[in-house]
Chains A and B, each alone.
Chain A
């Protein structure tokens, strides 16, 4: 991969919890100062990994290292066995081989086999050492474009788990769900071409891997249905493809070209505009309009909408 890419991803949630906050009893994450909803970078990367594992189950080089229930050190051991079959003692595997070439070989083997290490990098310096790599794909926190309103929904169950509950509560228990009625979230991502293809630092992340990343961003929520999530969907992916490896424009000036605005009965205004003060709260994607300003694009920057 020889070209830098920056992207903006919009996804939305309807009556669901896109990312629970462990500090707040699993309430949807909120920026406490602005009430905008948040989704952590790692939550998004988890879904990308899950999608790739589903979409390319048997494809060589598309294993997922950080699986749910994965056994990390067994994977490291496979690298050692493939590259350095003569080293059999675990003690000897704790430190990288003194020979820099051998340790690069270990890292390369891990990159070649695991899609997520190629994309996101990995610290493989756990008990059995297989080196450390930085991946080209960088994803930031997602923030909702407007403040969201988390709701607490009490639910009942007509059965009890324990006998004690059954006796005391007549076999009925109550639970709680936290949902966001509607939220449109926006996140930014970066794919560094040098970290993909640099002879020493690159992970070997290819154009085909990039295509799979974009495919995953588009479809990851289609395979992540659960009682907690409600309805989530990717709504728009805007990719800025630079002609050069180092890029042809500042990322923030490109991102500023992508705007989400409020839309209601044929009128469209910027978010927070006083003319929208009396509008009902957004409850569906059609209450927003996403626009990409393609006017006067810097030379060498191509916009791909998908």
Chain B
């Protein structure tokens, strides 16, 4: 019984943040399994099922661009809050957007396209009416006709993802990944965040082999929480 799906996603820009470089944000070279799962969930998801990403095909050359934006760093300090508490007034506790202006750069990916190969597993929350065939049919119907719960994105909200279902038996889109980029060690990469275990991040050693990150094979070689 296999309810595997293949989804072609692409867009002019993408950003899959490296957690170790969050201040001046830098993207991973390729989409993370976690981001791929988010795209699938944007199209169809129920608490009854859990998406598992098997493979990510990288179809376009890996290229970066830098983009700096004005943002705010709106966080109140505990010391200020304590002082305000003692004084018994909220005066001066708040943050004025103009005063907490931050300019932060994003090193993002440009012109990306991927094929996500994934399947889903049923969770303990599945009811009797939640058959895998029903959810597979729902996903395929939505993905084929462009329906989605919300518009999926390539890492962050402003980089919307276009998507198309690759029907069973149909060939994959042609890969334009440069020969020198097809086989490489991508290093430790975020696999996913385990929300059942207190939002613990799980990392794995990602390898690009002939343009494909075989998530299962990489995970088999070890992962870390």
On A, residues with C-beta under 8 Å from B are 6, 21-23, 29, 31-33, 38, 40-42, 66-74, 77, 89-91, 126-128, 134, 136, 138-141, 143, 188, 190, 192, 194-195, 244, 246-253
Determine the distance from Cα of A190 to Cα of B69 in the docked complex, in whole angstroms.
21
Quick one: given A127-B75, A128-B76, A192-B151, are A69 and B65 in contact (CB under 8 Å)? no
Interface of B is mostly: mixed
Determine the distance from Cα of A32 to Cα of B76 in the docked complex, in whole angstroms.
37
B90: chain A residues within 8 A (beta carbon): 73-74, 77
Quick one: given A22-B70, A70-B97, A71-B94, are A33 and B149 in contact (CB under 8 Å)? no
* B37 CB, nearest partner CB in chain A, Å: 16
Find out whether the CB atom of B95 lies under 8 angstroms from the CB atom of A66.
no
Find out whether the CB atom of A69 lies under 8 angstroms from the CB atom of B97.
yes
Q: Besides the contacts A22-B103, A70-B97, A90-B85, what 8 more A-B pairs have beta carbons closer than 8 Å?
A: A23-B68, A72-B74, A74-B90, A127-B95, A138-B160, A141-B159, A248-B147, A251-B151
What residue of chain A has the Cβ atom nearest to residue B75's Cβ? A126
A194: chain B residues within 8 A (beta carbon): 149-150
B70: chain A residues within 8 A (beta carbon): 22, 42
Contact of B157 with A by CB under 8 A? yes
B142: chain A residues within 8 A (beta carbon): 246
On B, residues with C-beta under 8 Å from A are 12-13, 63, 65-72, 74-77, 81, 84-85, 90, 93-98, 103, 105, 110, 142, 145-151, 153, 157-160, 162-164
* A114 CB, nearest partner CB in chain B, Å: 14
Find out whether the CB atom of B65 lies under 8 angstroms from the CB atom of A40.
no
User: How many pairs of residues, A versus B, come closer than 8 Å at their CB atoms?
Assistant: 127
Find out whether the CB atom of A74 lies under 8 angstroms from the CB atom of B94.
yes
Find out whether the CB atom of A253 lies under 8 angstroms from the CB atom of B146.
yes
B96: chain A residues within 8 A (beta carbon): 69-71
Find out whether the CB atom of A246 lies under 8 angstroms from the CB atom of B81.
no
Determine the distance from Cα of A101 to Cα of B164 in the docked complex, in whole angstroms.
38
Determine the distance from Cα of A6 to Cα of B63 in the docked complex, in whole angstroms.
28
Closest 3 pairs (CB-CB, A-B): A127-B76, A250-B146, A71-B94
- The one of B67, B103, B150, B162 in contact with A252, judged by C-beta atoms closer than 8 angstroms, is B162
Find out whether the CB atom of B163 lies under 8 angstroms from the CB atom of A250.
yes
Find out whether the CB atom of B13 lies under 8 angstroms from the CB atom of A195.
no
- The one of A246, A249, A252 in contact with B149, judged by C-beta atoms closer than 8 angstroms, is A246
B85: chain A residues within 8 A (beta carbon): 89-91
* B2 CB, nearest partner CB in chain A, Å: 25
Quick one: given A70-B97, A127-B76, are A250 and B162 in contact (CB under 8 Å)? yes
B84: chain A residues within 8 A (beta carbon): 90
* A44 CB, nearest partner CB in chain B, Å: 10
Most chain A C-beta atoms within 10 Å of own C-beta, residue among B70, B74, B90? B74
Determine the distance from Cα of A139 to Cα of B156 in the docked complex, in whole angstroms.
11
Determine the distance from Cα of A33 to Cα of B93 in the docked complex, in whole angstroms.
45
* B152 CB, nearest partner CB in chain A, Å: 10
